[in-house]
Structure 1
Amino acid sequence: MSNEETVGDRLRQARQSLGLSQTAAAYRCGWESQSRVSMYERGQRSPDYDDLARIAAAYGVRQEWVLTGEKPIRPGGPIDRGDPGTYHVRRLTLAGAARVGADGSWRTLEPTEPRELAINAPTGDPTAYAVQVCNHHLSPAFRDGEIVVIEPNESLVPGEYVLVKTTDGVERFMELAIQHPDRYVLLGVRDANERVTLSREEIEHIYHVGPRLPASMATVDTANSA
Protein backbone atom coordinates (compact mmCIF):
# COMPACT_ATOMS: atom_id res chain seq x y z
CA MET A 1 0.00 0.00 0.00
CA SER A 2 1.54 3.31 -1.07
CA ASN A 3 1.95 5.91 1.64
CA GLU A 4 1.01 8.54 -0.97
CA GLU A 5 -2.52 7.22 -1.23
CA THR A 6 -5.19 9.45 0.27
CA VAL A 7 -8.53 8.67 1.85
CA GLY A 8 -10.12 9.76 -1.41
CA ASP A 9 -7.93 7.38 -3.40
CA ARG A 10 -9.00 4.45 -1.22
CA LEU A 11 -12.65 5.41 -1.44
CA ARG A 12 -12.41 5.53 -5.21
CA GLN A 13 -10.58 2.19 -5.28
CA ALA A 14 -13.23 0.50 -3.12
CA ARG A 15 -16.11 1.94 -5.16
CA GLN A 16 -14.61 1.00 -8.50
CA SER A 17 -13.77 -2.52 -7.32
CA LEU A 18 -17.52 -3.02 -6.83
CA GLY A 19 -18.30 -1.63 -10.26
CA LEU A 20 -20.34 1.21 -8.77
CA SER A 21 -20.84 4.61 -10.30
CA GLN A 22 -20.72 7.58 -7.94
CA THR A 23 -24.50 7.83 -8.24
CA ALA A 24 -24.98 4.16 -7.34
CA ALA A 25 -22.56 4.52 -4.43
CA ALA A 26 -24.48 7.51 -3.12
CA TYR A 27 -27.72 5.51 -3.31
CA ARG A 28 -26.15 2.71 -1.26
CA CYS A 29 -25.11 5.26 1.35
CA GLY A 30 -28.59 6.77 1.50
CA TRP A 31 -27.65 10.09 -0.10
CA GLU A 32 -29.76 11.84 -2.72
CA SER A 33 -26.93 12.81 -5.07
CA GLN A 34 -23.39 11.79 -5.94
CA SER A 35 -21.88 15.15 -4.96
CA ARG A 36 -20.80 13.96 -1.50
CA VAL A 37 -19.12 10.87 -2.97
CA SER A 38 -17.29 13.05 -5.47
CA MET A 39 -16.11 15.54 -2.83
CA TYR A 40 -14.77 12.76 -0.62
CA GLU A 41 -12.90 11.11 -3.48
CA ARG A 42 -11.36 14.42 -4.57
CA GLY A 43 -10.33 15.28 -1.03
CA GLN A 44 -12.50 18.38 -0.90
CA ARG A 45 -14.20 17.13 2.23
CA SER A 46 -13.39 14.60 4.96
CA PRO A 47 -16.09 12.14 6.07
CA ASP A 48 -17.39 12.50 9.61
CA TYR A 49 -18.11 9.44 11.78
CA ASP A 50 -21.61 8.86 10.42
CA ASP A 51 -20.60 9.22 6.77
CA LEU A 52 -17.49 7.07 7.26
CA ALA A 53 -19.64 4.29 8.73
CA ARG A 54 -22.13 4.59 5.87
CA ILE A 55 -19.40 4.37 3.26
CA ALA A 56 -17.68 1.44 4.97
CA ALA A 57 -20.99 -0.41 5.16
CA ALA A 58 -21.91 0.36 1.55
CA TYR A 59 -18.52 -0.73 0.21
CA GLY A 60 -17.88 -3.58 2.65
CA VAL A 61 -14.56 -2.19 3.86
CA ARG A 62 -12.97 -1.45 7.21
CA GLN A 63 -13.24 2.10 8.49
CA GLU A 64 -9.60 1.82 9.63
CA TRP A 65 -8.54 0.91 6.10
CA VAL A 66 -10.33 3.93 4.66
CA LEU A 67 -8.54 6.25 7.09
CA THR A 68 -5.05 4.73 7.08
CA GLY A 69 -4.76 2.02 4.44
CA GLU A 70 -2.77 -0.02 6.97
CA LYS A 71 -5.22 -2.81 7.82
CA PRO A 72 -6.88 -5.43 5.57
CA ILE A 73 -9.55 -3.91 3.41
CA ARG A 74 -12.17 -6.04 5.17
CA PRO A 75 -12.24 -9.15 7.35
CA GLY A 76 -13.38 -12.57 6.30
CA GLY A 77 -13.10 -12.48 2.54
CA PRO A 78 -12.80 -10.51 -0.71
CA ILE A 79 -14.86 -7.56 -1.79
CA ASP A 80 -18.05 -8.68 -3.49
CA ARG A 81 -18.31 -8.37 -7.25
CA GLY A 82 -21.73 -10.00 -7.37
CA ASP A 83 -20.54 -13.60 -7.24
CA PRO A 84 -22.94 -16.00 -5.47
CA GLY A 85 -21.80 -17.11 -2.04
CA THR A 86 -19.48 -14.16 -1.42
CA TYR A 87 -19.96 -10.84 0.32
CA HIS A 88 -23.36 -9.17 -0.09
CA VAL A 89 -25.25 -6.28 1.41
CA ARG A 90 -27.96 -8.04 3.38
CA ARG A 91 -31.07 -6.75 5.10
CA LEU A 92 -30.79 -7.76 8.76
CA THR A 93 -33.57 -7.42 11.32
CA LEU A 94 -32.21 -6.31 14.68
CA ALA A 95 -32.26 -9.15 17.21
CA GLY A 96 -32.51 -6.68 20.09
CA ALA A 97 -30.64 -4.19 22.23
CA ALA A 98 -27.72 -5.15 24.46
CA ARG A 99 -27.89 -3.11 27.66
CA VAL A 100 -24.22 -3.29 28.50
CA GLY A 101 -23.26 -3.26 32.17
CA ALA A 102 -20.21 -1.69 33.78
CA ASP A 103 -18.17 -4.83 33.06
CA GLY A 104 -19.21 -4.77 29.41
CA SER A 105 -21.52 -7.77 29.64
CA TRP A 106 -25.25 -8.57 29.44
CA ARG A 107 -27.52 -11.59 29.79
CA THR A 108 -30.53 -10.91 27.58
CA LEU A 109 -31.33 -8.74 24.58
CA GLU A 110 -34.13 -6.22 25.06
CA PRO A 111 -36.55 -5.11 22.32
CA THR A 112 -35.46 -2.14 20.22
CA GLU A 113 -37.69 0.88 19.77
CA PRO A 114 -39.50 0.83 17.45
CA ARG A 115 -39.79 -2.92 17.87
CA GLU A 116 -39.03 -3.90 14.28
CA LEU A 117 -35.82 -2.31 13.03
CA ALA A 118 -33.62 -3.53 10.19
CA ILE A 119 -30.41 -2.41 8.56
CA ASN A 120 -28.56 -3.02 5.31
CA ALA A 121 -25.18 -4.46 6.26
CA PRO A 122 -22.21 -5.87 4.33
CA THR A 123 -21.56 -9.47 5.31
CA GLY A 124 -20.59 -12.73 3.69
CA ASP A 125 -22.39 -14.72 6.39
CA PRO A 126 -25.99 -15.67 5.56
CA THR A 127 -26.61 -16.38 9.26
CA ALA A 128 -25.47 -12.90 10.39
CA TYR A 129 -27.66 -10.90 12.74
CA ALA A 130 -27.51 -7.42 14.26
CA VAL A 131 -27.74 -6.06 17.79
CA GLN A 132 -27.81 -2.52 19.09
CA VAL A 133 -25.31 -1.61 21.80
CA CYS A 134 -26.81 0.63 24.49
CA ASN A 135 -25.02 2.49 27.29
CA HIS A 136 -21.59 4.02 27.01
CA HIS A 137 -19.52 1.40 28.84
CA LEU A 138 -17.78 0.09 25.70
CA SER A 139 -16.98 3.51 24.25
CA PRO A 140 -15.03 4.40 22.16
CA ALA A 141 -14.68 0.90 20.67
CA PHE A 142 -18.46 0.49 20.54
CA ARG A 143 -20.50 3.69 20.63
CA ASP A 144 -23.78 4.11 22.48
CA GLY A 145 -26.62 3.25 20.09
CA GLU A 146 -24.33 1.70 17.50
CA ILE A 147 -25.57 -1.34 15.59
CA VAL A 148 -23.17 -4.28 15.50
CA VAL A 149 -23.30 -7.13 12.99
CA ILE A 150 -22.58 -10.57 14.45
CA GLU A 151 -21.27 -13.24 12.05
CA PRO A 152 -21.54 -16.78 13.48
CA ASN A 153 -20.01 -18.44 10.43
CA GLU A 154 -17.13 -16.05 9.75
CA SER A 155 -13.59 -17.10 10.63
CA LEU A 156 -12.17 -15.85 13.90
CA VAL A 157 -9.12 -13.63 13.46
CA PRO A 158 -6.73 -12.71 16.31
CA GLY A 159 -6.76 -8.98 16.91
CA GLU A 160 -10.43 -8.60 15.99
CA TYR A 161 -13.50 -8.35 18.20
CA VAL A 162 -15.65 -11.35 19.02
CA LEU A 163 -18.91 -11.90 20.86
CA VAL A 164 -18.43 -14.52 23.55
CA LYS A 165 -21.30 -16.26 25.34
CA THR A 166 -20.21 -18.36 28.29
CA THR A 167 -22.13 -21.32 29.66
CA ASP A 168 -23.51 -19.19 32.50
CA GLY A 169 -25.53 -17.21 29.95
CA VAL A 170 -23.41 -14.04 29.97
CA GLU A 171 -22.56 -12.41 26.63
CA ARG A 172 -19.68 -9.99 26.17
CA PHE A 173 -17.70 -8.28 23.43
CA MET A 174 -13.99 -9.01 23.70
CA GLU A 175 -10.87 -8.99 21.54
CA LEU A 176 -9.48 -12.34 20.44
CA ALA A 177 -5.78 -12.51 21.30
CA ILE A 178 -4.89 -16.19 20.76
CA GLN A 179 -6.91 -19.18 19.62
CA HIS A 180 -5.67 -22.58 20.85
CA PRO A 181 -7.27 -25.95 20.03
CA ASP A 182 -8.67 -26.19 23.55
CA ARG A 183 -8.94 -22.59 24.75
CA TYR A 184 -9.18 -18.92 23.82
CA VAL A 185 -7.15 -16.03 25.19
CA LEU A 186 -9.26 -12.86 25.19
CA LEU A 187 -8.68 -9.20 25.98
CA GLY A 188 -11.15 -6.74 27.46
CA VAL A 189 -12.60 -4.02 25.25
CA ARG A 190 -12.51 -1.33 27.92
CA ASP A 191 -9.22 -2.38 29.50
CA ALA A 192 -6.52 -3.69 27.17
CA ASN A 193 -4.66 -5.03 30.20
CA GLU A 194 -7.55 -7.36 31.05
CA ARG A 195 -6.64 -10.87 29.90
CA VAL A 196 -9.04 -13.80 30.16
CA THR A 197 -8.43 -17.43 29.21
CA LEU A 198 -11.52 -19.56 28.60
CA SER A 199 -11.61 -23.24 27.74
CA ARG A 200 -13.91 -24.43 24.99
CA GLU A 201 -16.03 -26.13 27.66
CA GLU A 202 -16.69 -22.73 29.26
CA ILE A 203 -17.93 -21.16 26.03
CA GLU A 204 -21.40 -21.67 24.59
CA HIS A 205 -20.44 -19.81 21.44
CA ILE A 206 -17.87 -17.33 20.15
CA TYR A 207 -18.78 -15.31 17.05
CA HIS A 208 -16.94 -12.89 14.83
CA VAL A 209 -17.94 -9.22 15.16
CA GLY A 210 -18.47 -7.68 11.75
CA PRO A 211 -19.36 -4.15 10.67
CA ARG A 212 -20.39 -1.54 13.25
CA LEU A 213 -22.92 0.92 11.86
CA PRO A 214 -24.57 4.11 13.16
CA ALA A 215 -28.16 3.83 14.36
CA SER A 216 -29.19 6.40 11.76
CA MET A 217 -28.80 3.70 9.09
CA ALA A 218 -31.55 1.53 10.62
CA THR A 219 -35.13 1.79 9.36
CA VAL A 220 -38.44 0.22 10.30
CA ASP A 221 -38.66 -3.32 8.96
CA THR A 222 -41.97 -3.08 7.15
CA ALA A 223 -41.87 -6.75 6.18
CA ASN A 224 -42.12 -7.81 9.82
CA SER A 225 -44.02 -4.90 11.32
CA ALA A 226 -47.13 -5.29 9.16
Structure 2
Amino acid sequence: MLNNKVFKCENIRTMHDTMIRLYEAARLLCGLKTPTEVARLLNLSPQVVNNWERRGISKAGMLDAQEKVGCSAVWLMTGQPPMTVEGNHGTTASNSSNSEQKGDEIASSAATERSTMAVETDAARMSAPQRVRAALHNKGLTAAEIASVAGVGVDTASKWLEGEGPELTLPQAVALQNTYGVNSVWLTKGKGEPGIAIQFADEYRPITITNWRAIPVVGRAQLGDNGHWADLEYPVGHGDGYVDFPSKDPDAYALKCEGDSMRPRIKAGEFVIIEPNQPIEPGDEVLVKSKDGRVMVKEFLYKRGGRTHLISVNDAHKPMAFSDDEIEKIHFVRAICRPSTWRPE
Protein backbone atom coordinates (compact mmCIF):
# COMPACT_ATOMS: atom_id res chain seq x y z
CA MET A 1 0.00 0.00 0.00
CA LEU A 2 1.09 3.59 -0.62
CA ASN A 3 2.14 5.90 2.15
CA ASN A 4 -0.57 8.56 1.95
CA LYS A 5 1.21 11.18 3.99
CA VAL A 6 1.10 14.68 2.56
CA PHE A 7 4.19 15.32 0.38
CA LYS A 8 6.98 16.63 2.62
CA CYS A 9 10.71 16.89 2.09
CA GLU A 10 11.49 14.52 4.93
CA ASN A 11 9.24 11.88 3.37
CA ILE A 12 10.86 11.95 -0.08
CA ARG A 13 14.57 12.36 0.61
CA THR A 14 15.18 8.65 -0.03
CA MET A 15 13.04 8.52 -3.17
CA HIS A 16 14.35 8.43 -6.70
CA ASP A 17 14.94 11.93 -8.09
CA THR A 18 12.41 11.49 -10.89
CA MET A 19 9.69 10.64 -8.39
CA ILE A 20 10.57 13.62 -6.20
CA ARG A 21 10.06 15.84 -9.23
CA LEU A 22 6.77 14.13 -10.14
CA TYR A 23 5.33 14.68 -6.65
CA GLU A 24 6.48 18.31 -6.76
CA ALA A 25 4.80 18.84 -10.14
CA ALA A 26 1.61 17.09 -8.97
CA ARG A 27 1.46 19.39 -5.94
CA LEU A 28 2.16 22.63 -7.81
CA LEU A 29 0.27 21.98 -11.03
CA CYS A 30 -2.64 19.79 -9.94
CA GLY A 31 -3.00 20.44 -6.20
CA LEU A 32 -2.50 16.74 -5.38
CA LYS A 33 -1.32 15.96 -1.87
CA THR A 34 -0.94 12.18 -1.57
CA PRO A 35 0.63 9.34 -3.60
CA THR A 36 -2.80 7.75 -3.95
CA GLU A 37 -4.09 10.84 -5.72
CA VAL A 38 -1.13 10.73 -8.12
CA ALA A 39 -1.71 7.03 -8.81
CA ARG A 40 -5.38 7.69 -9.49
CA LEU A 41 -4.62 10.55 -11.88
CA LEU A 42 -2.15 8.43 -13.86
CA ASN A 43 -4.41 5.36 -13.74
CA LEU A 44 -1.67 3.30 -12.06
CA SER A 45 -1.72 0.61 -9.42
CA PRO A 46 -0.18 1.45 -5.99
CA GLN A 47 2.52 -1.16 -6.67
CA VAL A 48 3.69 0.65 -9.82
CA VAL A 49 3.99 3.94 -7.91
CA ASN A 50 5.92 2.18 -5.13
CA ASN A 51 8.28 0.73 -7.72
CA TRP A 52 8.80 4.18 -9.23
CA GLU A 53 9.69 5.59 -5.81
CA ARG A 54 12.52 3.05 -5.55
CA ARG A 55 13.69 2.72 -9.16
CA GLY A 56 12.53 5.85 -10.94
CA ILE A 57 9.74 6.58 -13.39
CA SER A 58 9.62 4.58 -16.62
CA LYS A 59 10.00 6.48 -19.89
CA ALA A 60 6.41 5.65 -20.78
CA GLY A 61 5.35 6.95 -17.38
CA MET A 62 7.19 10.23 -18.01
CA LEU A 63 5.29 10.74 -21.26
CA ASP A 64 2.05 9.92 -19.50
CA ALA A 65 2.81 12.37 -16.68
CA GLN A 66 3.65 15.06 -19.23
CA GLU A 67 0.16 14.70 -20.70
CA LYS A 68 -1.85 14.30 -17.49
CA VAL A 69 0.11 16.35 -14.95
CA GLY A 70 1.49 18.97 -17.34
CA CYS A 71 5.15 18.62 -16.37
CA SER A 72 7.84 18.23 -19.01
CA ALA A 73 9.05 14.65 -19.52
CA VAL A 74 12.59 15.96 -19.99
CA TRP A 75 12.33 17.90 -16.72
CA LEU A 76 11.19 14.74 -14.94
CA MET A 77 14.11 12.78 -16.34
CA THR A 78 16.91 15.37 -15.97
CA GLY A 79 15.62 18.20 -13.80
CA GLN A 80 16.44 20.61 -16.61
CA PRO A 81 13.89 23.47 -16.76
CA PRO A 82 11.31 24.38 -17.76
CA MET A 83 9.10 22.29 -15.49
CA THR A 84 5.99 22.58 -17.61
CA VAL A 85 5.04 22.34 -21.23
CA GLU A 86 2.98 24.82 -23.19
CA GLY A 87 -0.73 24.75 -22.49
CA ASN A 88 -0.50 23.76 -18.81
CA HIS A 89 -2.51 25.82 -16.35
CA GLY A 90 -1.62 24.26 -13.04
CA THR A 91 -3.16 24.86 -9.61
CA THR A 92 -1.80 27.83 -7.68
CA ALA A 93 0.10 26.96 -4.50
CA SER A 94 1.45 30.41 -3.66
CA ASN A 95 2.16 33.70 -5.37
CA SER A 96 5.78 32.79 -5.95
CA SER A 97 4.86 29.34 -7.24
CA ASN A 98 2.27 30.85 -9.56
CA SER A 99 4.84 33.26 -11.00
CA GLU A 100 7.26 30.39 -11.56
CA GLN A 101 4.58 28.37 -13.32
CA LYS A 102 3.69 31.19 -15.69
CA GLY A 103 7.33 31.64 -16.56
CA ASP A 104 7.66 27.92 -17.30
CA GLU A 105 4.55 27.92 -19.49
CA ILE A 106 6.23 30.22 -22.01
CA ALA A 107 7.86 27.11 -23.58
CA SER A 108 6.98 26.94 -27.29
CA SER A 109 5.46 24.03 -29.15
CA ALA A 110 8.86 23.41 -30.77
CA ALA A 111 10.39 22.93 -27.33
CA THR A 112 7.59 20.51 -26.48
CA GLU A 113 8.32 18.47 -29.58
CA ARG A 114 12.01 18.39 -28.77
CA SER A 115 11.34 17.16 -25.27
CA THR A 116 9.15 14.34 -26.55
CA MET A 117 11.78 13.36 -29.10
CA ALA A 118 14.45 13.34 -26.42
CA VAL A 119 12.50 10.74 -24.48
CA GLU A 120 11.70 8.70 -27.60
CA THR A 121 15.39 8.42 -28.49
CA ASP A 122 15.77 6.50 -25.25
CA ALA A 123 13.14 3.97 -26.31
CA ALA A 124 15.76 1.24 -26.63
CA ARG A 125 16.24 1.37 -22.86
CA MET A 126 12.56 0.73 -22.25
CA SER A 127 11.13 -2.74 -22.04
CA ALA A 128 8.73 -3.90 -24.74
CA PRO A 129 5.72 -3.69 -22.35
CA GLN A 130 6.70 -0.10 -21.53
CA ARG A 131 6.73 0.70 -25.25
CA VAL A 132 3.29 -0.90 -25.61
CA ARG A 133 2.01 1.37 -22.85
CA ALA A 134 3.60 4.44 -24.45
CA ALA A 135 2.03 3.64 -27.82
CA LEU A 136 -1.43 2.38 -26.84
CA HIS A 137 -2.29 3.64 -23.36
CA ASN A 138 -3.84 6.90 -24.56
CA LYS A 139 -5.82 5.41 -27.46
CA GLY A 140 -8.74 4.51 -25.19
CA LEU A 141 -8.28 0.80 -25.81
CA THR A 142 -9.34 -1.83 -23.31
CA ALA A 143 -7.18 -4.74 -22.23
CA ALA A 144 -9.72 -7.09 -23.81
CA GLU A 145 -9.37 -5.38 -27.21
CA ILE A 146 -5.57 -5.55 -27.14
CA ALA A 147 -5.68 -9.16 -25.94
CA SER A 148 -7.94 -10.13 -28.85
CA VAL A 149 -5.64 -8.52 -31.42
CA ALA A 150 -2.35 -9.86 -29.99
CA GLY A 151 -3.71 -13.29 -29.13
CA VAL A 152 -2.86 -13.10 -25.44
CA GLY A 153 -4.81 -13.26 -22.20
CA VAL A 154 -6.56 -10.22 -20.79
CA ASP A 155 -4.26 -10.33 -17.75
CA THR A 156 -1.20 -10.04 -20.00
CA ALA A 157 -2.74 -7.15 -21.94
CA SER A 158 -3.61 -5.40 -18.66
CA LYS A 159 0.02 -5.67 -17.54
CA TRP A 160 1.18 -4.29 -20.88
CA LEU A 161 -1.01 -1.23 -20.40
CA GLU A 162 0.80 -0.70 -17.08
CA GLY A 163 4.21 -1.08 -18.74
CA GLU A 164 4.77 -4.47 -17.17
CA GLY A 165 4.36 -8.15 -18.00
CA PRO A 166 6.09 -10.50 -20.47
CA GLU A 167 8.06 -9.39 -23.52
CA LEU A 168 6.24 -9.32 -26.85
CA THR A 169 6.86 -11.91 -29.52
CA LEU A 170 7.30 -10.72 -33.09
CA PRO A 171 3.92 -12.13 -34.25
CA GLN A 172 2.22 -10.27 -31.39
CA ALA A 173 3.99 -7.03 -32.32
CA VAL A 174 3.07 -7.43 -36.00
CA ALA A 175 -0.57 -8.00 -35.03
CA LEU A 176 -0.55 -4.74 -33.03
CA GLN A 177 1.13 -2.97 -35.95
CA ASN A 178 -1.45 -4.16 -38.45
CA THR A 179 -4.36 -3.08 -36.24
CA TYR A 180 -3.13 0.06 -34.47
CA GLY A 181 -0.37 1.35 -36.78
CA VAL A 182 2.48 1.11 -34.26
CA ASN A 183 5.86 0.02 -35.62
CA SER A 184 6.50 -3.63 -34.69
CA VAL A 185 10.30 -3.11 -34.79
CA TRP A 186 9.98 -0.17 -32.39
CA LEU A 187 7.78 -2.26 -30.11
CA THR A 188 10.17 -5.21 -29.94
CA LYS A 189 13.58 -3.52 -30.32
CA GLY A 190 13.04 0.18 -29.57
CA LYS A 191 14.51 1.09 -32.97
CA GLY A 192 13.07 3.53 -35.48
CA GLU A 193 9.91 5.55 -35.00
CA PRO A 194 6.81 4.44 -33.06
CA GLY A 195 4.58 5.01 -36.07
CA ILE A 196 4.74 3.23 -39.41
CA ALA A 197 6.68 5.53 -41.73
CA ILE A 198 6.17 3.56 -44.95
CA GLN A 199 2.88 2.43 -46.38
CA PHE A 200 2.91 0.03 -49.28
CA ALA A 201 0.90 1.45 -52.16
CA ASP A 202 2.97 0.37 -55.11
CA GLU A 203 1.36 0.53 -58.52
CA TYR A 204 0.58 -2.90 -59.91
CA ARG A 205 2.58 -3.17 -63.10
CA PRO A 206 3.07 -6.85 -64.01
CA ILE A 207 5.73 -7.77 -66.57
CA THR A 208 4.31 -9.87 -69.35
CA ILE A 209 6.26 -13.04 -70.06
CA THR A 210 6.46 -13.76 -73.77
CA ASN A 211 7.85 -16.52 -75.98
CA TRP A 212 5.78 -19.26 -74.34
CA ARG A 213 5.81 -22.47 -76.31
CA ALA A 214 5.59 -26.21 -75.89
CA ILE A 215 9.03 -27.66 -75.11
CA PRO A 216 9.19 -31.36 -76.09
CA VAL A 217 10.27 -33.90 -73.46
CA VAL A 218 12.84 -36.07 -75.28
CA GLY A 219 14.21 -38.30 -72.53
CA ARG A 220 15.33 -38.75 -68.92
CA ALA A 221 18.47 -37.65 -67.08
CA GLN A 222 19.91 -39.39 -64.01
CA LEU A 223 20.76 -37.09 -61.11
CA GLY A 224 23.19 -39.62 -59.59
CA ASP A 225 26.81 -40.15 -60.59
CA ASN A 226 26.07 -43.13 -62.83
CA GLY A 227 23.66 -41.33 -65.14
CA HIS A 228 21.93 -42.84 -68.11
CA TRP A 229 20.13 -41.54 -71.13
CA ALA A 230 16.79 -43.00 -72.14
CA ASP A 231 16.50 -41.57 -75.64
CA LEU A 232 12.90 -41.82 -76.74
CA GLU A 233 13.92 -41.26 -80.38
CA TYR A 234 10.96 -39.08 -81.27
CA PRO A 235 11.05 -37.00 -84.44
CA VAL A 236 12.56 -33.52 -84.18
CA GLY A 237 10.12 -31.19 -82.45
CA HIS A 238 8.21 -34.04 -80.83
CA GLY A 239 8.64 -36.09 -77.68
CA ASP A 240 7.01 -37.71 -74.68
CA GLY A 241 4.62 -34.86 -74.08
CA TYR A 242 5.49 -31.22 -73.52
CA VAL A 243 6.37 -28.66 -70.88
CA ASP A 244 5.03 -25.14 -71.34
CA PHE A 245 7.88 -22.69 -70.89
CA PRO A 246 9.09 -19.39 -72.43
CA SER A 247 12.35 -19.89 -74.36
CA LYS A 248 14.04 -18.09 -77.24
CA ASP A 249 16.21 -21.07 -78.12
CA PRO A 250 14.62 -22.80 -81.13
CA ASP A 251 16.36 -26.06 -80.21
CA ALA A 252 15.23 -26.11 -76.54
CA TYR A 253 14.12 -29.48 -75.15
CA ALA A 254 13.12 -30.94 -71.80
CA LEU A 255 14.27 -33.93 -69.76
CA LYS A 256 12.61 -35.67 -66.85
CA CYS A 257 15.02 -36.08 -63.93
CA GLU A 258 15.52 -39.14 -61.74
CA GLY A 259 17.72 -39.53 -58.63
CA ASP A 260 18.77 -37.27 -55.77
CA SER A 261 22.26 -35.87 -56.39
CA MET A 262 20.92 -32.36 -57.12
CA ARG A 263 18.37 -32.36 -54.29
CA PRO A 264 17.05 -29.99 -52.98
CA ARG A 265 17.84 -27.89 -56.06
CA ILE A 266 16.29 -30.47 -58.45
CA LYS A 267 13.97 -33.21 -57.21
CA ALA A 268 13.22 -36.52 -58.80
CA GLY A 269 10.26 -36.27 -61.17
CA GLU A 270 10.88 -32.64 -62.11
CA PHE A 271 11.73 -31.45 -65.60
CA VAL A 272 14.76 -29.44 -66.72
CA ILE A 273 14.57 -27.11 -69.71
CA ILE A 274 17.73 -27.38 -71.83
CA GLU A 275 18.94 -24.63 -74.17
CA PRO A 276 21.83 -26.03 -76.23
CA ASN A 277 22.63 -22.68 -77.86
CA GLN A 278 23.16 -20.79 -74.58
CA PRO A 279 26.81 -20.19 -73.50
CA ILE A 280 27.81 -21.80 -70.18
CA GLU A 281 29.34 -19.96 -67.21
CA PRO A 282 30.79 -21.30 -63.92
CA GLY A 283 27.95 -21.95 -61.46
CA ASP A 284 25.43 -22.88 -64.17
CA GLU A 285 23.56 -26.16 -64.04
CA VAL A 286 24.34 -28.21 -67.12
CA LEU A 287 23.29 -31.38 -68.85
CA VAL A 288 26.32 -33.55 -69.60
CA LYS A 289 26.23 -36.54 -71.93
CA SER A 290 29.36 -38.65 -72.06
CA LYS A 291 30.35 -40.75 -75.06
CA ASP A 292 29.81 -43.93 -73.06
CA GLY A 293 26.09 -43.09 -72.80
CA ARG A 294 25.85 -41.51 -69.35
CA VAL A 295 23.64 -38.44 -69.09
CA MET A 296 23.51 -36.34 -65.92
CA VAL A 297 22.60 -32.92 -64.60
CA LYS A 298 25.41 -31.26 -62.62
CA GLU A 299 26.78 -27.85 -61.70
CA PHE A 300 29.60 -26.62 -63.93
CA LEU A 301 32.65 -25.50 -61.94
CA TYR A 302 35.38 -24.75 -64.44
CA LYS A 303 37.37 -26.12 -67.38
CA ARG A 304 41.12 -26.42 -67.13
CA GLY A 305 43.81 -28.47 -68.87
CA GLY A 306 41.31 -30.11 -71.19
CA ARG A 307 39.11 -31.36 -68.32
CA THR A 308 35.62 -30.23 -67.32
CA HIS A 309 34.96 -30.22 -63.56
CA LEU A 310 31.43 -30.73 -62.18
CA ILE A 311 29.80 -30.98 -58.75
CA SER A 312 26.44 -31.90 -57.29
CA VAL A 313 24.41 -29.69 -54.98
CA ASN A 314 24.04 -32.69 -52.68
CA ASP A 315 27.32 -33.09 -50.75
CA ALA A 316 26.81 -36.85 -50.56
CA HIS A 317 27.98 -37.08 -54.17
CA LYS A 318 31.63 -36.46 -55.01
CA PRO A 319 32.85 -33.95 -57.64
CA MET A 320 33.47 -35.32 -61.13
CA ALA A 321 35.80 -34.45 -64.01
CA PHE A 322 35.64 -35.41 -67.68
CA SER A 323 38.29 -34.98 -70.34
CA ASP A 324 37.24 -33.30 -73.59
CA ASP A 325 37.31 -36.56 -75.54
CA GLU A 326 34.90 -38.17 -73.02
CA ILE A 327 32.13 -35.60 -73.48
CA GLU A 328 29.64 -35.89 -76.31
CA LYS A 329 27.74 -32.71 -75.37
CA ILE A 330 27.29 -30.27 -72.51
CA HIS A 331 24.21 -28.03 -72.59
CA PHE A 332 22.90 -25.17 -70.47
CA VAL A 333 19.98 -25.84 -68.09
CA ARG A 334 17.64 -22.87 -68.35
CA ALA A 335 15.04 -23.78 -65.74
CA ILE A 336 13.50 -26.41 -63.49
CA CYS A 337 9.80 -27.13 -63.87
CA ARG A 338 7.41 -28.92 -61.55
CA PRO A 339 5.78 -32.17 -62.70
CA SER A 340 2.45 -30.31 -62.94
CA THR A 341 3.77 -28.33 -65.94
CA TRP A 342 3.90 -31.46 -68.11
CA ARG A 343 1.07 -32.12 -70.54
CA PRO A 344 0.54 -34.87 -73.10
CA GLU A 345 0.62 -34.30 -76.82
The TM-score with structure 1 as length reference comes to: 0.52
Distance in 1 between the 2:220 and 2:343 partners? 15
Equivalent pair of 2:299/2:312 in contact (CA under 8 Å): yes
Corresponding residue to 1:95 among 213, 218, 227? 218
1:94 and 1:151 map into 2 onto residues whose CA distance is 13
**Following the alignment from structure 2 to structure 1, what is the Cα–Cα distance between the partners of residues 227 and 286?**
13
User: Given that residues 223 and 258 in structure 2 are in contact (C-alpha distance below 8 angstroms), is that contact kept between their aligned partners in structure 1?
Assistant: no
Which residue in the other structure is 2:228 paired with? Answer: 106
Q: 1:76 corresponds to which residue?
A: none
Cα shift at 1:176: 0.6
Q: Which of the residues 126, 131, 137 maps onto 2:250? A: 126
The alpha-carbon deviation at position 201 of structure 1 amounts to: 1.1
Q: Tell me the secondary structure at the aligned position of residue 216 of structure 1.
A: helix
Matched, 1:142 2:142: no
How far apart are 1:142 and its partner, in Å?
1.0
Q: Which residue of 2 aligns with 1:207?
A: 331
Deviations 1:90-132 (A, max 9, x none): 211211334x375362232469xxx842121122211110011
CA deviation vs aligned residue, 1:31-72 (integer Å, no higher than 9, x gap): xxxxxxxxxxxxxxxxxxxxxxxxxxxx4xxxxxxxxxxxxx
**Native 8 Å contact 1:104 1:137 kept in 2:** no
Q: Quote the offset at 1:189 in angstroms.
A: 3.5
Q: How far apart are the structure 2 equivalents of 1:138 and 1:93?
A: 22
Q: Considering fraction of residues, name the structure with more helix.
A: 2
Could you report, residue by residue, the CA deviation over 1:153-172 in whole angstroms, capped at 9, with x for unpaired residues?
11101101111111111111
Instruction: For 2:334 and 2:303, locate their aligned partners in 1 and report how far apart those are by CA, in whole Å.
Output: 18
Contact kept? 1:148, 1:209, Cα under 8 Å: yes
- Alignment of 1:219 with 2:316, yes or no, is no
Matches within 5 A, 1:1-226: 15-16=206-207, 20=208, 59=209, 88-98=211-221, 100=222, 102-103=224-225, 105-109=227-231, 116-180=240-304, 182-191=306-315, 194-221=318-345
Structure with more strand by fraction: 1
Distance 1:191 1:105 in 2: 17
Conservation of the 8 A alpha-carbon contact between 2:226 and 2:294: no
Q: 1:183 to 1:130 in 2, by over 3 A?
A: same
Unaligned runs of 5+ in 1: 1-8, 21-58, 60-79, 81-87, 222-226
The answer on whether the counterparts of 2:255 and 2:271 sit within 8 Å (CA) in structure 1 is yes
Letter of the 1:90 partner, please give it.
R
Contact 1:147 / 1:214 at 8 angstroms: preserved in 2? yes
- CA distance in 1 between counterparts of 2:224 and 2:271 reads 19
Give the root-mean-square deviation of aligned CA atoms.
2.8
CA distance in 2, matches of 1:107, 1:190: 21
Opposite residue 155 of structure 1, the aligned amino acid is: P
1:104/1:202 Cα in 2 relative to 1: closer, same or farther (>3 Å)? Answer: closer
CA contact (8 A) 1:104 1:138 kept: no
CA distance in 1, matches of 2:268, 2:249: 25
Deviation at 1:146, TM superposition (A): 0.7
Structure 2: give runs of 5+ residues left out of the alignment: 1-201, 234-238
Residue-by-residue CA offset, 1:137-194 (whole Å, 9 max, x unaligned): 5321211211111111111011011111111111111111113473322112422873
Distance in 2 of aligned mates of 1:137 and 1:184:
18
